[in-house]
Amino acid sequence: MSSLRTDDDTWDIASSVGATAVMVAASRAAEPEAAAVFEHMGNYQAVRTHFFDEYFTRAAAAGIRQVVILASGLDSRAYRLDWPAGTVVYEIDQPKVLEYKAATLAEHGVSPVADRREVPIDLRFDWPKALRDKGFDPQAPTAWLAEGLLMYLPADAQDRLFEHVTALSAAGSRLAVETAASQPVDRREEMRARFERIAAQFGLEKALDVAQLMYDDPDRADVADWLGRHGWQTESLSAPDEMRRLDRFVAAAVTTDTDDPDSEAQAFSQFVTAERQP
């Protein structure tokens, strides 16, 4: 028998076997909150993926055959969307990220549907040259995507990215962007504490504090506004509105201040789409 126990031991709610009553009650209490948060996060990914899939489908239907996925990561659209013949999909990301994806999918016998071309370079370097070297044609209309990227770039790098995209975009080119959400420091701290609490309740290891990798830059340009001033016609859709439209918004998971309409708008991304004007 454990040295912590004797045959006639007793306990209160904070010690020995009594403490286990608190542990299971705490897990029970946290379960609905955790379930809501996980469901909401999954729903956000699904809604975002659906939105940008549709964007590419419409661009292809409009005749665009040149696609650039900025910071493509493990994006598998070159493999899974129904691209018309002749479509070239350029994927830009760090060399090892691209290598991993292509090797893993090849190992599983999966081949791209489009002519997929890797552009292994950091987006803070001279990626337009690297893109051209792979055959990119700036005279042809392009469908660009920046999904899950802007939050990892400082404000000036975001501006430079869109300057390059604009310079490389023939009239009729399209661009789709997931904007970086911005939250006040106290709200971010509340979210971080909440995730830590949930992770602890479920015995999850704290693998990576993603927020530490992001630039929450108060000077970051508003994407639609910036593009509007640089020759693009834009449309913005708030991610929560799109989630509600698809019945995927889990209100119980959201901690924004419901009395402050700006709170939700700031805490969530926008999906911005744009078309380059002649």
Q: What is the rounded CA–CA span in Å between residue 4 and residue 199?
A: 28
Under a CB-based contact definition with an 8 Å cutoff, are residues 270 and 57 in contact?
Answer: no
Q: How many residues bind ligand SAM (CB under 6 A)?
A: 15
Pairing relationship of beta strands 270-276 and 174-178 according to DSSP bridges: antiparallel
- The residue among 119 and 253 lying less far from ligand SAM, judged by its C-beta, is 119
Q: In what order do the strands lie in the sheet with 88-93?
A: 115-120, 88-93, 66-70, 142-146, 174-178, 270-276, 232-238
**118 near ligand SAM (CB under 6 A):** no
Helix (H) or strand (E) segment spanning residue 188: helix 185-201
Near ligand SAM by CB under 6 A: residue from 97, 130, 155, 198: 97
Q: Is 131 in the site for ligand SAM (CB under 6 A)?
A: no
Which residue among 91, 118, 147, 275 contacts ligand SAM (CB under 6 A)? 147
- Identify which range of 23-31, 71-79, 231-239, 252-260 contacts ligand SAM by CB under 6 A: 71-79
Q: How far is the CB of 74 from ligand SAM (least distance, A)?
A: 6
Instruction: Write the CB contacts of 24 (distance below 8 Å, at least 6 apart in sequence).
Output: none
Under the binding rule (CB under 6 A), the answer on residue 105 touching ligand SAM is no
Is 100 a binder of ligand SAM (CB under 6 A)?
no
Examine residue 177 and tell whether it contacts ligand SAM (CB under 6 A).
Answer: no
| 3-class DSSP assignment, residue 233 | strand
Question: Rule CB under 6 A: which residues touch ligand SAM?
Answer: 71-75, 93-94, 97, 122-124, 147-149, 152
